[in-house]
């Protein structure tokens, strides 16, 4: 619980900093500036996902399963993953930079977005490698530094950068450059942190080959790709059918709504390596106990948090600016999906850590298809509320499928213990 508690505090701090980022951007650049940044970030995330290649998620599994047995040489494993990742990311930077004019003109019908996309391409390498470093530390159960690297430092340095550049200029190009600099700085910190911990590791006897790594990482890449599509499809399709203003409004509604998942994410960060370790040791009793106790805590703590969030959100939107108040209805629609995910979301993490990545990929693909079809139908007619409605339908469908797959595999009910008690 101490790990979960400290991780929860860090997650809270990270979310507050995330709100501050949105407030600072909207204050200096307006809702349109926020929309341009969100759209640029949505596009670059596609390339970042390919750059990570599922390696950031798979490294958690490899390290967690072998930290006690010391069968695999973790140092060799890490270096091999980095050797795979760096050249791929450099190629992706070049591709995004070169094709930014085409993306801006032919997809978004707005050539003015070109310089923003080109500048944002410079974050592909540092964000991909930072994620690999952070998740490697997560595999070692260094949850505090993992949470700081993933949720706190990037926001903190970005905010500082925004204030610094606005002393001289308030152009959006320099806003994005601030994010580029922050990304490289956090990557440097993550590399230093991993190096310090790597020196303490006992060397294993077995080397993990590229084939074994790809066997795990590719299904996780497919799953992550599909989850990214669901996460950013709304923003991208709003950018196609609507203006940057609608993208900015949807961005703040989604950011506030997803903060309701903080308990789920905090406990899952602790749970994931423990699940992988219990599964690797074939300890199904411990596996069942971990899942049921964790999910009970997640639901118990999340529900009052959700009630408070729904109550204060109108005031939060007013704080960001009067033009943001119209996003409250969108927020309420999104909350339906978030509540559902609070109850069932742990199932996905369990499947990812127990060699069920292919099932997660298939179910995520179903969710993506539903999301895209509904966005095509609903966004032109209902705008940001249509995008939110598409999201919650796909979220509900996917999490139900995750749960039924987990139950059919392990016969574990995430809501009740063996005596059918909550």
Tell me how far apart the alpha carbons of residues 268 and 285 are, in angstroms, rounded to a whole number: 19
Backbone angle region of 203, left / alpha / beta, with phi > 0 → left and psi within -120 to 50 → alpha: beta
Examine the pLDDT at 245 and tell me if it is beyond 90.
no
Torsion angle defined by CA atoms of residues 194, 200, 205 and 206, in that order, rounded to the nearest 10 degrees: -10
What's the CA gap between 263 and 265, in Å, rounded?
5
Rounded CA separation 57/361 (Å): 14
Q: Rounded distance, CA 155 to CA 183, Å?
A: 9
| 283 secondary structure, DSSP code | -
The string of DSSP codes covering 396-420 is: HHHHHHHHHHHHHHH---SS--TTS
Start-end of H helices in 140-209: 143-147, 153-165, 172-198
The tens digit of pLDDT for each residue in 262-291 reads 888 777 767 777 777 777 777 778 878 887
Chain segment 168-217, per-residue pLDDT in tens: 888 999 999 999 999 999 999 999 998 888 776 655 544 555 556 555 55
Residue 295 or residue 152, greater confidence? 152
pLDDT tier at 116, thresholds 50, 70, 90? very high
36-45, 209-218, 399-408 — which is least confidently predicted? 209-218
The whole-chain average pLDDT of the chain stands at 83
- Residue 221: the pLDDT is 59
The pTM of this model reads 0.74
Alpha carbon separation from 360 to 50, 59, 229, 363, 381 (Å, rounded) = 18, 18, 14, 5, 31
User: Would you place residue 242 in the very low, low, confident or very high pLDDT band (cuts 50, 70, 90)?
Assistant: confident
CA angle 340, 341, 342 (to 5 degrees): 90
Quick one: tokens of 51? 């750059």
DSSP label at residue 351:
H
**pLDDT band for position 296 (cuts 50, 70, 90):** confident
CA distances in angstroms from 267 to 104, 257, 295, listed in the order given? 39, 18, 9
**How buried is residue 308: exposed, middle or buried, by Cβ count under 10 Å (0-12/13-18/19+)?**
exposed
């Amino acid at each position: 619980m101490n790990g979960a508690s400290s991780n929860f505090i860090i997650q809270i701090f990270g979310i507050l900093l995330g709100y501050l980022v949105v407030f600072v951007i909207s204050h200096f650049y307006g809702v349109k500036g926020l929309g341009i940044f969100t759209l640029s970030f949505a596009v670059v995330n596609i390339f970042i996902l390919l750059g990570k290649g599922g390696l950031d998620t798979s490294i958690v599994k490899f390290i967690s399963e072998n930290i006690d047995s010391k069968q695999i040489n973790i140092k060799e494993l890490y270096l091999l993953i980095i050797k795979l990742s760096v050249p791929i990311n450099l190629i992706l930077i070049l591709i995004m930079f070169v094709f930014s004019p085409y993306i801006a003109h032919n997809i978004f019908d707005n050539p003015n977005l070109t310089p923003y996309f080109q500048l944002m391409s410079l974050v592909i390498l540092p964000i991909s490698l930072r994620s690999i470093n952070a998740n490697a530390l997560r595999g070692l159960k260094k949850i505090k530094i993992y949470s700081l690297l993933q949720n706190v430092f990037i926001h903190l340095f970005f905010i500082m950068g925004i204030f610094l550049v606005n002393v001289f200029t308030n152009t959006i190009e320099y806003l994005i450059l601030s994010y580029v600099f922050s990304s490289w700085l956090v990557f440097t910190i993550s590399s230093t942190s991993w190096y310090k911990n790597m020196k303490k590791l006992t060397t294993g006897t077995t080397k993990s080959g590229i084939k074994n790594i790809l066997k795990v990482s590719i299904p996780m890449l497919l799953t992550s790709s599909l989850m990214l599509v669901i996460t950013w499809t709304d923003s991208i399709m709003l950018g196609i059918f609507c203006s940057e203003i609608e993208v900015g409004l949807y961005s703040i509604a989604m950011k506030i709504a997803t903060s309701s998942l903080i308990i789920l994410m905090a406990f899952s960060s602790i749970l994931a390596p423990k699940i992988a370790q219990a599964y690797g040791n074939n300890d199904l009793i411990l596996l069942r106990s971990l899942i049921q106790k964790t999910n009970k805590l997640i639901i118990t703590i999340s529900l009052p948090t959700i009630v408070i969030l729904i109550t204060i959100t109108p005031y939060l939107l007013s704080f960001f600016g009067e033009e943001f108040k119209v996003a409250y209805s969108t927020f309420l629609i999104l909350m339906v999906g978030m509540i559902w995910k609070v109850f069932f979301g742990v199932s996905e993490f369990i499947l990812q850590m127990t060699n069920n990545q292919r099932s997660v990929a298939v179910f995520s693909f179903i969710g993506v298809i539903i999301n895209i079809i509904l966005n095509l139908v609903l966004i032109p007619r209902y705008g940001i509320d249509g995008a939110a409605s598409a999201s919650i339908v796909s979220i509900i469908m996917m999490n139900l499928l995750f749960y039924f797959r987990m139950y059919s595999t392990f016969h574990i009910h995430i809501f009740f213990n063996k005596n059918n008690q909550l």
